[in-house]
Amino acid sequence: MMKSVLIANRGEIACRVVKTARRLGIRTVAVYSDADAEALHVRMADEAVHIGPAPTRESYLVGEKIIAAAKQTGAEAIHPGYGFLSENAEFAQAVMDAGLIWVGPLPKSITAMGLKDAAKKLMAEAGVPVTPGYMGDNQDPAFLKSEADKIGYPVLIKAVAGGGGKGMRLVEKADDFLDALTSCQREAAASFGNDHVLIEKYILSPRHIEVQVFGDSHGNVVHLFERDCSMQRRHQKVVEEAPAPGMDEATRNELCAAAVRAAKAVDYRGAGTIEFIADGSEGLRADRIWFMEMNTRLQVEHPVTEEITGVDLVEWQLRVASGEPLPKRQDELSITGWAMEVRLYAEDPTKGFLPSIGKLDVFDYPDHLVRVDTGVEEGAEISPHYDPMIAKLIVHADTREEAIADLRYALDDGECGPLITNAGFLHRLLGDEQFAAGTVDTGLIGRKLDELTARPDPSIEGLQAAAATLIGRSGQGPWAAAGGLRLNAGPRRTMRLSDQHGRDYPVELAGLSNTAPQRQAVLNEGGERFVLRPWRAVGGADGGVGSGSILAPMPGKVIAVEVVAGDTVTKGQKLLTLEAMKMEHTLTAPFDGVVEEVNCTAGDQVQVEALLVKIDTE
């Protein structure tokens, strides 16, 4: 077994690797950027090395700095985590050429599966079923459109070097193809340095099912069963579970056997995931499940596999990289119970899931019930430089129904703030009747987005409790005597509360609390966090829809401006595209009107609430 390992990553996955390495007696080395100097993974590791400024291209994506840090600290191995350089074959080779242990697959395996078009051809040759599509070298837009026309809409445009939901566009009709292609290629070039795309048939009732595989240097390959990741928003996973709902044993055996064949075809070593797309319109059937791609690394959702198998996948990674055989044979692996995971993000679902940046003052979830994998703690900053994931919340129970109930309870009982999070959205999604029944597909969230993202009002009981807390035992304050006379009735004591989102609630007082008056009351219900205060009239400064002022929702870079002053626009028309938190955000016209001002150009860096465009009514 290796004695030391450098973790070439940050946040949750870096902390995750540190925990297992520490248990195995392996010394850990962290790397960090300027923005992460006080980060949890830095403090957890035995040693840490600064590798540059906050932008990833100047720190976490610079392989030379990471290898130099390993040599400087005497680390024997480098664990890449996921994202960043984890699927970079050149970096993997450079690590090995430097005489270090690469905790991952062979560079040739990464290369073979790194480009989606080549990977699909290889899988077809290995007898693994693949979806219909075009995977050739001709990237002429007119030619690609003609291929999409032949395949039949809807189609999916995918960057061959893509991943994590980036470089992917769904096109439902021919007229939209060329615009979607341009946007996809631009995002792919910015994220991966490669704008080459493939086109594949989009399955109308799709389910995303993946199989965890593991290989060693002794020729052994096993699978650790499947996960269902069908709950997605814009191709990014929201809920992951294992096993897959509705999966019978015969279909599971065929699917997992195909995954093992795929891994063996590329001499795979270490942890990997074979991703499949299934047509769930008639239930799960082996002849309606096709290979999509392989992720040659550990997946974000790996904890659900760990929970149902009792295996520590990071430990297996470290052992296999040290030259040991797989700790278990296939016949020693089995499924126990049901596991489910949600990703808790600092983002506002009511505003298109825009990231919520700032300090995390409160972070408390019931760890007796839920496994919390995180890279932050109370007092940490959610930075605009990186992905805004706060934590992964994972539960393991005897049945799927119990897993859902436990996870909803954890979201309801936990508290995270003052940043806005997606906890309420997750709570409502887990409570959805279709999800609860297991009749899931990748379009479920999109179809129900309005109801899932609509923030509910607090309950009457919750508001009354908050009001009592604000008044306290003494009943002091100008609102304490708010009331009036009613014919044939006694005085009615009411007060008006406001929350942090600017919404008002009249409350009939039910009683007083046993505490002194408070300036604010925090109410947690259904995953939502309401900060309630006595109402007071305030003016808005956010340039809302009525004003026609289009403000930057977060710090970012303007990458495209579609209008100029004097243009006539219609409601919903694209005005500009802002790149922030590694994603593109489209800002649109709130109503029909005329562009009065354009205060930015492509390439500008803008701050939150900067006035970008102003529209006047016609």
DSSP states along 193-215: S---EEEEEPPSSEEEEEEEEEE
* Residues 429, 230 contacting (CB under 8 angstroms): no
Options 297, 343, 428, 493, the catalytic residue: 297
Residue with tokens 């594949």: 200
* Residues 46, 29 contacting (CB under 8 angstroms): yes
**Angstrom distance (rounded) from CA 358 to CA 53:** 19
Give the SS3 label for residue 472: coil
Lookup: tokens for 105: 């697959």
Of the chain, the end-to-end C-alpha distance in Å amounts to 72
Q: Is 297 a catalytic residue?
A: yes
Give the distance from CA 172 to its chain's centroid: 24
Give the SS3 label for residue 594: strand
Burial 165-177 (b: 16+ CB within 10 A, else e): ebbbbbbeeeeeb
Element (H, E) at 262: helix 249-265
Give the SS3 label for residue 579: strand
**Angstrom distance (rounded) from CA 515 to CA 540:** 33
Nearest to 242 by CA among 335, 113, 366, 371: 335
Give every CB contact of residue 573 below 8 A, 6+ residues apart in sequence.
562, 563, 588, 589
**Angstrom distance (rounded) from CA 524 to CA 36:** 30
What are the Cα distances from residue 457, in Å, to 149, 356, 495, 499, 526? 47, 21, 16, 10, 10
**Angstrom distance (rounded) from CA 95 to CA 112:** 19
Element (H, E) at 556: strand 556-561
Per-residue H/E/C for 503-547:
CEEEEECCCCCCCCCCCCEEEEECCEEEEEEECCCCCCCCCCHHH
Burial 406-443 (b: 16+ CB within 10 A, else e): bbbebbbebebbebbbbbbbbbbbbbbeebeeeebbbe
Residue type at 195 in one-letter notation: D
Give the SS3 label for residue 12: helix
Lookup: tokens for 477: 């304050």
**Angstrom distance (rounded) from CA 298 to CA 23:** 19
Active site residues: 297
